[in-house]
Amino acid sequence: DAGVIQSPRHEVTEMGQEVTLRCKPISGHDYLFWYRQTMMRGLELLIYFNNNVPIDDSGMPEDRFSAKMPNASFSTLKIQPSEPRDSAVYFCASSLWGDSNQPQHFGDGTRLSIL
Amino acid sequence: GQNIDQPTEMTATEGAIVQINCTYQTSGFNGLFWYQQHAGEAPTFLSYNVLDGLEEKGRFSSFLSRSKGYSYLLLKELQMKDSASYLCAVVAGANNLFFGTGTRLTVIP
């Protein structure tokens, strides 16, 4: 059974460029989450979707960040324009609908470096 | 707001027992997860507690005291492969998961 699939695994780009991160959740999962992980701040929730609808985007750092989920099997996180401080590992996770005890399943992450 | 505290690093010997503590202050507490994360990999689910008490799962156990805002993860019969970061995460509200910065455990021979 395929897990959460993220692409690309690594991205290196120059500041000012647009960056697009992609995620395919586990089939049948109703929730999709985007996280950012850095050494200083750990794992931070950026935004999450329920049934393709954004529910809470209070963790999105600023207007340069946007996320979409056009259908149940695909989501994107965009950064435009990118800045060096955006360098981090970005994780996508998905979970089943239900009580809060449903664990989140994480993808392998995208390691983003902005030069 | 949310505040989650864990020790930054711990070292333990192969075959021993280690306890990783987590204290939290949060509004709308709705459960606590422990995740394991090996270097360069994704976090993976270990345990979930919502009621007070101990949940045992093989070599790993997790304890929760809601009144004290305290949890611990207990790892028995440590193996070298247990060297990883252990993340405490609190559910606040419906689905918001707030992570601590993690405890990096090193298991030595």
Beta bridge partners of A71: A74
Distant-in-sequence, close-in-space partners of A94: CB < 8 Å, separation ≥ 6: A4, A25, A26, A29, A31, A32, A33, A104, A105
Of the listed ranges A33-42, B58-67, B92-101, the least confidently predicted one is: B92-101
Above 80 in pLDDT, residue B83? Answer: yes
Question: Minimal Cα–Cα distance from A111 to chain B, Å?
Answer: 9
Question: Minimal Cα–Cα distance from A15 to chain B, Å?
Answer: 24
Across chain A, which has 115 residues, the per-10-residue mean pLDDT values are 92 97 96 94 92 92 94 96 96 83 92 97
**CA dist list (Å): B81 to A23, A102, B84, B109:** 29, 26, 8, 11
Contact state of A100 with B91 under an 8 Å Cβ cutoff: yes
Say if B51 is an interface residue toward chain A (CB within 8 Å).
Answer: no
User: Average pLDDT, stretch B39-53?
Assistant: 94
Question: Which residue, among B27, B86, B100, has the nearest Cα to A45 in the 3D structure?
Answer: B100
Share of chain B above pLDDT 90, in %: 84
Q: Are A81 and A16 spatial neighbours (Cβ–Cβ below 8 Å)?
A: yes
